Each structure stands twice: as C-alpha cells, then as structure tokens.
Structure 1
Amino acid sequence: MTVAPNEADRDALQYQRMRDVAEQLQDSVPGKLEITLEGIVHDMMSPGGPHELTAARISRRLEKVMPEGLLAHTGTPDVEDIARGVLRHPDVMVIAEKDMEVEGPFDPRSLLVAIEVVSRSNPDNDWVGKMRDYPLLGIPVYAVFDPRMGEGAVLSDIHPTASGPRYATRKDFVYGEDVAISDWTISTENLPRYA
C-alpha cells in the first residue's frame, strides 16, 4: 500500500524546504531572502543609506503621531504565514508592543501597516510581489515609498478577487506631500532619493 501526502502536506513540506534553504543561505549572500508563493525571492543588494534613512525617518515620524503602545518597528523578525507558505520582511511594521512578545516570526495578522521602501535592485518585489502577498496575509494597509521616483502609494481595503485577496483602494503621493497611512498622517518632506 502506498500512502501519498495530500496537497496541503506537500505544500507544507515544500515550504519548509524553502525555509531551510533560505536560513542556510542568508548569512552567506548579500541582501535578504524572502519566500513567496512563487519561491524564494533574493533582493541582491543590502539596503544602502538612502533606503535605511527613509525607513528610519518614516518610523520616527509615525511614532510621533501614533498612540502609546504602538511601534513603527524597523528590525527583525520577519512576518510568516506557514499555512500560506509566505515569509516576508517589511522595512517598517506598525504593530502593538504586546504583539511583539512572541518567539520567532510575527503573525502577519498582528500588523496594522506594512511599509516598504522600494529597493533599487528589485523594485518589482515591492510593487508587484508584496502588493499581492500583503493582502493575502491579511495586512490591512500597505504603504510603498519609492526613492527612485520620489513617489509612493498607500493601499488598503482588502477585498476578494478571482486571483485572491487584493487591495481595493490606492492613494498615490509624491514626496513633499503629507500622506495618510491608516489613522496617521506624516510628512514626506526631506526623504532621500536614489542618485
């Protein structure tokens, strides 16, 4: 008698293999590794000064206007949904302090907002892949800041579509304007651009 794994078990096994590979490689390759429905994504370049400065300024500006108990976190760990086979690392995560009191990756459903600063080396990861994955993970608001062009977008209102959950509302902005991210408004003045 042959017992074949069902599709869910096969998917879980495949995800665990990708997770193991990503963990083994992470320290030996530049940049960061994430896991999507299509496989492992490698953002080849480590974030540089303008990228990191943008994330830091966004974080600081948000924390000035958010209530006590919420953080605009720029560190680790990742967010992971094992059942969906997705591991991501937002540049800035708005999350309650109490939801950070866990071992291992954060539950993506605990994030109030995921913010990405577009990578110079792989912009489609932020504009396409994460725009698909974040509503799938249940993250209610996704903000994208693009230092290449000095513009961005805030996406919200997850709704079902034939190809999976998507954001229904998109509000574009250009650097220099105030931008509303969830319940908070921050300035985009003096955010660095890529040269």
Structure 2
Amino acid sequence: MTIAPDDTQQGASPLYRAMRDFVESADDDLPGKFEITKEGIVLDMMSPTRPHELTVLRVRKRLEKVMPDEIVAHTGEPDVEDEPEGIMRRPDVMVIAEGDMEGEGSFDARTLVAAVEVVSRSNPDNDWVSKTRDYPLMGIPVYAIFDPRTGKGAVLSDIHSTPDGPRYATRKDFVYGEDVTIADWAISTEGLPLYADA
C-alpha cells in the first residue's frame, strides 16, 4: 500500500516531516514495515518469510567474514534517511562503518558503503524499481539485490547524473552459485534459499 503526496508538494520539507512523524508514531502500533519513498509512504504488510530471513543472515555473515573489523553488515534498525530528498528506507543489510552508527536518530544515507536487499515475494517492485531509483538519490554508492524468486540478483554501482536525477551507471547480474562482489568484498552465493514456489 502506498500513501502518495500531491506531486506539487513531493519535495516539500513540511510534507516529509509530516510523513516521518506518522511513520514514527505508527511503527510500534501497526503491523508491517513503513518506509518513505519518492512516491510517499509504503507499507509492507507481509512478515518476512524464512527464505528471506535466511538469505539476509547468510549474506550478512559472509560479508562480515571478509570485511575489515571496523566495517559491519548491520540488519535491523534504525532507518537510513536522506531528509533533503525526502526518503527514509530500511535496507535488509546496511554495510556501514561501526563508527558511523554512533549517535541518535536515523543513519545518514551517505555514510553507507552499500545497501543489500532480499526481494520480497509480495512486492518485488519495491526492491527492483523503487529502491533502484531511491538509493542513488540518497547517495548510497552500491546496491545489491538478491532475488529468491529467481535465484538471480544484481549489484548496482557508479552513481552518475541523468536528466531524471542520479542513477546507477553499472549493473552486474549474477546467478546463485556464483561469487558476487559488493563494494570491495566478494562473497559466495552458494546455498542461498529460494522461495518454495520459485
């Protein structure tokens, strides 16, 4: 479900603040996960499935084995925010320096080294379309997508300017079983689960 602002006010800071206040007040009281995109508030009502969560776990653990100690593959809260762009997201895995996690409030999107998403069965366009647009706008340099529906994925990088705003210039597709490089670190995709109906 998406609650979209009027197009004429899409970038307005007061509107973003109102959406952010709503998300913060509703997060503990309503089921699902709220995010603020360029289109408005998105609510994912579906609880993550076991294959989704197992993929998140395995990707996180594999990244942390090869990254230096000061870089972590964080899952969970808080959100990643770019207030000037009016976007607040919560990637499945956030590759970030441990020092950049200190303090209060949301993480500054520009401190992320990479964002990793595992495609949800219920709303794949959120990962393949909306976040492909939002993450370069937020300045996240690398975006990796794992898709348990197909056993494939992609790593997007090299943000560049376009008439429609910043976009990723490079896309490297992979299939499960191959090694994949996320930022500076290569990990195996061997043994990542698929959704039962894949």
TM over 0.5, shorter chain: yes
One-letter amino acid of the counterpart of residue 43, structure 1: D
**Paired position in structure 2 for 1:75:** 76
Q: Which runs of no fewer than 5 residues in structure 1 stay unpaired? A: 1-6
Task: State the Cα distance separating 1:31 from its structure 2 match.
Answer: 2.1
Instruction: State the SS of the aligned residue for 1:113.
Output: strand
Q: How does 1:54-133 map to 2 (within 5 A)?
A: 54-133=55-134
Q: TM-score, normalised by structure 1?
A: 0.93
Q: Which blocks of at least 5 consecutive residues in structure 2 are unaligned?
A: 1-7
Give 1:25 shift.
2.3
**TM-score with structure 2 length normalisation?**
0.92
RMSD between superposed Cα atoms in Å: 1.4
Secondary structure of the residue aligned to 2:58 is: helix
Secondary structure in structure 2 of the residue aligned to 1:103 = coil
What's 2:41 paired with?
A: 40
CA deviation after TM superposition for structure 1 residue 29, in Å: 3.1
Distance 1:125 1:21 in 2: 20
Percentage of matched positions with identical amino acids:
69
Between Structure 1 and Structure 2, how many residues are aligned? Answer: 188
Q: Distance in 1 between matches of 2:28 and 2:104?
A: 20
Question: In the alignment, which residue of structure 2 is the partner of 1:3?
Answer: none
**Which residue does the alignment assign to 2:4?**
none
**Deviation above 6 Å: which 4+ runs of structure 1?**
none
In structure 2, the residue matched to 1:19 is 20
> How far 1:23 moved relative to its partner?
2.1
Greater Rg by CA: 1
Q: Distance in 1 between matches of 2:184 and 2:17?
A: 36
